[in-house]
């Protein structure tokens, strides 16, 4: 029998969609992604991007405090026993994601820990193919597979993630470790300028490191970078290595010139990547309309409809602008309501 609502993904968008769909008696089935080496390397393990970070200070409802007892009380024991001990800073990314998943489960959401690798949206009920070989039929589908931040791929960058290396200024810029300290932003497009501008509110200096001698950003954004007295542009350089120690995290970067063999070091307490994101849409093939940057295209303003009737999208997989947990959760709620109303309209 075909599923009523099938959800692909496991970030805030997917779990919020599942909570709403389950409470509407739509008995959602979630494929949350597989635990594989590939997903580990890509940062696409179950629970999504937020599971890759430590403190989450901007998700409403979690002021600073000790959540230990609440976590013990609300999570299934088999999940809780494998989690890191709670730090007294409000909520961590993994804790928040486990709580969302648990809430979806409590309302009857069924969860399979596997990837969807192919879809057929030409026929209805839709057909979905899992990496295990399972085939699923569904009347409505919510795609909530998120996106992943692009990194440089340096081993030193990897070892300082969450200890000074970040790919989200809005998420991490206000953390105490970055306040009144010199910071580095890598990139030269509009979003790099936005990140640098945002960080300049907290940092002593923001070094924008760009491999060319001019920004790729639009003129208005490039002017913003040039006019901001706290932003220093470092032209014609790439990051050779992130410098730091186990105790202090990031303490600087070594730069490699792109015009000669010279190298130099900059002192910095953080390095922010602003070299784009990759949406997790490869498994869709050409079955859904994508934007030129390969995000799922929302086709109706203020709705989560896609180019295929009955298929909805939520979170970072369709949103290349806000990219926040709370906005992903918001569009997850919208997608579940859109799916519910669409199914009712079809008499399903
Ligand atoms: C390091 C870091 C720190 C951040 N900190 C904050 C913060 O403090 N506050 C904030 O608001 N935002 C923060 N963000 C951004 C936030 O994490 C994202 O905006 C949010 O997680 C997007 O949620 P999502 O539901 O769209 O999907 P994602 O969180 O991207 O999760 C999608 C998941 O779906 C699964 N999936 C993908 N493809 C498939 C498939 N084919 N089949 C099955 N499953 C699949 C994978 O498990 C994938 O991880 C941070 C991001 C990063 C990278």
pTM for this structure? 0.92
Atom of ligand 1 nearest to the CA of 52: 1
Q: Whose CA is nearest to atom 49 of ligand 1?
A: 48
Pocket test residue of 19, 44, 50 for ligand 1, highest count of atoms within 8 A of CB: 50
CA atoms within 13 A on the CB side of 165: 24
Candidate list 114, 115, 171, 319, residue with the active-site label:
171
333 catalytic, yes or no? no
User: Which residue is associated with the tokens 């994101």?
Assistant: 277
Judge residue 195's burial from the number of C-beta atoms within 10 Å of its C-beta, 0-12 exposed, 13-18 middle, 19 or more buried.
buried
Ligand 1 center to 49 CA (angstroms): 3
CA–chain centroid gap for 134, Å, is 27
**Per-position pLDDT tens, the chain of length 348:** 999 999 999 999 999 999 999 999 999 999 999 999 999 888 899 999 999 888 898 999 998 888 999 999 999 999 999 898 888 778 999 999 999 999 999 999 999 999 999 999 999 999 999 999 999 999 999 999 999 999 999 999 999 998 999 999 988 999 999 999 999 999 999 889 999 999 999 999 999 999 999 998 889 999 999 999 999 999 999 999 999 999 999 999 999 999 999 999 999 999 999 999 999 999 999 999 999 999 999 999 999 999 999 999 999 999 999 999 999 999 999 999 999 999 999 999
Contact 91, 62 (CB under 8 A): yes
Direct distance between the N- and C-terminal alpha carbons of the chain, in angstroms, rounded to an integer: 13
Token pair listed for 318: 């369709």
């Amino acid at each position: 029998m075909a599923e009523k609502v099938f959800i692909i993904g496991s970030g805030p968008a997917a779990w919020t969609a599942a909570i709403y769909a389950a409470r509407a008696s739509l008995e959602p089935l979630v494929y949350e992604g597989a635990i594989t080496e590939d997903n580990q390397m890509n940062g696409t393990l179950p629970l999504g991007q937020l599971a890759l970070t430590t403190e989450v200070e901007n998700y409403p409802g979690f002021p600073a405090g000790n959540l230990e007892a609440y976590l013990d009380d609300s999570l299934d024991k088999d999940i809780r026993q494998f989690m890191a001990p709670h730090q007294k800073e409000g909520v961590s990314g993994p804790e928040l994601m486990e709580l969302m998943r648990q809430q979806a489960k409590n309302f009857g959401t069924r969860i399979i820990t596997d990837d969807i690798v192919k879809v057929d949206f030409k026929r209805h009920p839709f057909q979905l193919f899992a990496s295990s070989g399972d085939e699923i039929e569904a009347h409505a589908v919510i795609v909530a597979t998120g996106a992943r931040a692009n990194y440089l791929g340096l081993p030193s960058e990897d070892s300082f993630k969450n200890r000074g290396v970040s790919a989200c200024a809005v998420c991490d810029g206000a953390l105490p470790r970055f306040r009144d300290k010199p910071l580095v932003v890598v990139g030269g497009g509009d979003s790099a300028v936005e990140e640098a501008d945002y960080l300049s509110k907290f940092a002593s200096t923001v070094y924008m490191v760009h491999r060319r001698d001019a920004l790729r950003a639009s003129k208005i954004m490039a002017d913003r970078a040039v006019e901001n007295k706290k932003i220093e542009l470092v032209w014609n350089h790439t990051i050779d290595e992130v410098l730091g120690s186990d105790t202090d995290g990031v303490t600087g970067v070594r730069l490699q010139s792109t015009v000669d063999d010279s190298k130099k070091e900059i002192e910095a307490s953080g390095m922010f990547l602003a070299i784009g994101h990759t949406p997790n849409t490869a498994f869709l093939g050409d079955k859904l309309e994508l934007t030129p940057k390969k995000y799922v295209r929302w086709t109706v303003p203020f709705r989560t409809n896609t180019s295929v009737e009955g298929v909805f999208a939520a979170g970072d997989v369709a949103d290349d602008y806000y990219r926040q947990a709370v906005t992903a959760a918001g569009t997850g709620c919208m997608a579940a309501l859109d799916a519910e109303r669409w199914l009712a309209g079809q008499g399903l």
